[in-house]
Amino acid sequence: MGSNEKDGGRVEAIEDQQSLESNEIEKSKVGIMRALVEREDPSSKEVDDFMIRRFLRARDHDIEKASTLFLKYLSWKKSFMPNGSISESEIPRELAQNKLFMQGVDKKGRPIVVTYGGRHKHIKLEEFKRFVVYTLEKICARMPAGHESFIHCRSRRMGICQ
């Protein structure tokens, strides 16, 4: 074994150790943030650690800023979706445009979403906002545990991507 392979192995081991340490720090911060937001809003108990982690990462692991943002999100969600979700009956014109399709998963298990921007017809802004939230909620519900991303393919044309 050459010295490069040995050195490369040491670098990987150090990176693995640092990754483990940062994961432990992040887990600790998730726990602290969870306790903080649950005191402010008991409904946050329903949210999983991945959601809390996303808000932490969005604010560079600053617990106070992430908690403030998360609590604002929960408040917005309650006002925007008082029933806890958006029903298809609230967005019939958006759904009728057939501009978005959920197409299974990729090799890594991430949901695949295909959109056709050319099919979008601006009707009512409020209904479109509800359609976007409806879509994102559906996509997130399809994500397997531990996944935080999805694949989005878009076309500006009316039909199949060329």
Q: Per-block average pLDDT, block size 10, for the chain (162 residues)?
A: 55 58 87 96 91 94 97 95 92 91 87 86 90 89 78 71 42
CATH architecture for the domain at 88-155: 3-Layer(aba) Sandwich (3.40)
For the chain, domain boundaries? 3-80, 88-155
Residue 142: name the closest of 107, 102, 101 by CA.
Answer: 102
* List of E strands, 41-149: 100-105, 111-116
In this predicted structure, what is the pLDDT of residue 161? 44
Query: Are residues 71 and 37 in contact, defined by beta-carbon separation less than 8 angstroms?
Result: yes
In this predicted structure, what is the pLDDT of residue 139? 86
In this predicted structure, what is the pLDDT of residue 103? 86
Please provide residue 41's backbone torsions phi and psi, each rounded to the nearest 5 degrees. Answer: -145, 100
Q: Does domain 3-80 have CATH number 1.10.8?
A: yes
| Amino acid letter, 55 | F
CA 68 to chain centre: 18
The Cα 49–Cα 53 span in angstroms is: 6
In this predicted structure, what is the pLDDT of residue 90? 94
